[in-house]
Chains A and B, each alone.
Chain A
Amino acid sequence: MKNIFQSKNLFWNLTALLIFIAVIYFLVVPVSSVLVGSFQTEEDGAWTLKNFLSFVKYRTYWKSLANSVGVSLAASVLTIVMAVPLAFMVSRWNLKGKPFIIALSTIPLMLPSFISAFAWIILLGRAGIVSELIRSLGIPFDSIYGYFGVVMVFTVQFYPYVFLMTLSGFNSVDESIEEVGRSLGTGPVKTFIKVSMPLVLPGILSGTLLVFMTAVENFGVPMVIGEQKPFLAVQAYMEFTSDIGQHPGMAYALSVVLIMVTMTSLMAQRYYLRKRNFIQSARGRPEIKELRGWARRFATGYCFTVVLIPLIPFFVALVISFLEMRGPVIHPNFSLQNYSYAFSHMARPIFNSYFLATVATLISVVIGVPAGYILTRRRSSIGDGLDFAIMLPFTIAGTVLGIALIVMFNTGFLVLTGTWMILALSYTIRKMPFIARSSSSILYQLDPAMEEASISLGVNPMKTFFKITIRLMSGGIIAGAILTWVTTISELSSTIVLQTPGWSTMTVEMFQGILSDDMGMASAFASILIVSAIVPLLIIIGRFKEEGSSLF
Chain B
Amino acid sequence: MPGISIRNVTKRFGDLVAANNISLEIEKGEFFTLLGPSGCGKTTLLRCIAGFLDHEGGQILFGDRRVDGIPTHKRGVGMVFQNYAVFPHLSVQDNVKYGLKARRVPAREQAERASQALALVRLEGLEDRLPNQLSGGQLQRVAIARALVIEPEVLLMDEPLSNLDAKLRVEMRGEIRLLQQKMGITTIYVTHDQEEALSISDRIAVMEYGIVRQVGKPWEVYVQPGDAFVAGFIGTTNMFDSEIKTSEGGLAIAQCGGVSFGLSRSDGVAQGSQIQIALRPEAITIRDIEEPVPDGHWVLEGEIIRFEYLGSMIKYEVGFSENVTLLVVSYDAEPAKIKNVGQRVKLSYPIERAKTFRKDRPQ
Query: What is the interface of chain A, defined by CB distance below 8 A to chain B?
Result: 3, 8, 447, 449-450, 452-461, 463, 468, 471-472
Contact with A along B72-87 (1 / 0, CB 8 A): 1110111101110111
Q: Are A455 and B85 in contact (CB under 8 A)?
A: no
- Tell me the complex Cα distance, A460–B75, Å: 11
Given the known inter-chain contacts A452-B52, A453-B87, A468-B87, please indicate yes or no for A458 contacting B103, CB distance below 8 A. Answer: yes
Asked if B347 is an interface residue, CB under 8 A from chain A, the answer is no
- Tell me the complex Cα distance, A545–B102, Å: 33
Most chain A CB within 10 A, of B73, B79, B82, B147, is at B73
Q: Are A472 and B88 in contact (CB under 8 A)?
A: yes
Most chain A CB within 10 A, of B52, B76, B85, B86, is at B85
Given A452-B85, A461-B73, 16 more contacts at CB 8 Å? A449-B82, A450-B85, A450-B87, A452-B50, A452-B81, A453-B86, A455-B71, A455-B72, A455-B73, A456-B79, A456-B147, A457-B146, A458-B74, A463-B102, A471-B89, A472-B88
Most chain B CB within 10 A, of A8, A449, A455, A457, is at A457
- Nearest CB on B from A467, distance (A): 9
Residues of B within 8 A of A3 (CB): 54
Q: Are B71 and A456 in contact (CB under 8 A)?
A: no
Asked if B99 is an interface residue, CB under 8 A from chain A, the answer is yes
State which residues 87-133 of B face A: CB under 8 Å: 87-89, 98-99, 102-103
Q: Write the chain B residue with the least CB distance to A456.
A: B79
Contact with A along B265-298 (1 / 0, CB 8 A): 0000000000000000000000000000000000
* Contact sample, A vs B, 21 pairs, CB 8 Å cutoff: A447-B83, A450-B85, A452-B50, A452-B52, A452-B85, A453-B81, A453-B85, A454-B87, A455-B71, A456-B78, A456-B79, A456-B147, A456-B156, A457-B102, A457-B150, A458-B103, A459-B73, A459-B98, A463-B102, A468-B87, A472-B88
Residues of B within 8 A of A472 (CB): 87-89
Q: Are B73 and A452 in contact (CB under 8 A)?
A: no
- Nearest CB on B from A498, distance (A): 41
- Tell me the complex Cα distance, A100–B287, Å: 73
- Tell me the complex Cα distance, A213–B150, Å: 54
- Tell me the complex Cα distance, A461–B87, Å: 16
- Tell me the complex Cα distance, A393–B81, Å: 39
Q: Are A453 and B79 in contact (CB under 8 A)?
A: yes
Q: Are B99 and A458 in contact (CB under 8 A)?
A: yes
Q: Are B98 and A457 in contact (CB under 8 A)?
A: yes
Q: Write the chain B residue with the least CB distance to A459.
A: B102
- Tell me the complex Cα distance, A453–B87, Å: 9
Q: Are B83 and A456 in contact (CB under 8 A)?
A: no
Q: Are A449 and B98 in contact (CB under 8 A)?
A: no
Q: Write the chain B residue with the least CB distance to A8.
A: B71
Most chain B CB within 10 A, of A453, A459, A471, is at A453
- Tell me the complex Cα distance, A545–B259, Å: 68
Residues of B within 8 A of A456 (CB): 50, 72-73, 77-79, 147, 156
- Tell me the complex Cα distance, A455–B99, Å: 9
Q: Are A447 and B85 in contact (CB under 8 A)?
A: yes
Residues of B within 8 A of A463 (CB): 102
Q: Are B85 and A458 in contact (CB under 8 A)?
A: no
Q: Are B73 and A460 in contact (CB under 8 A)?
A: yes
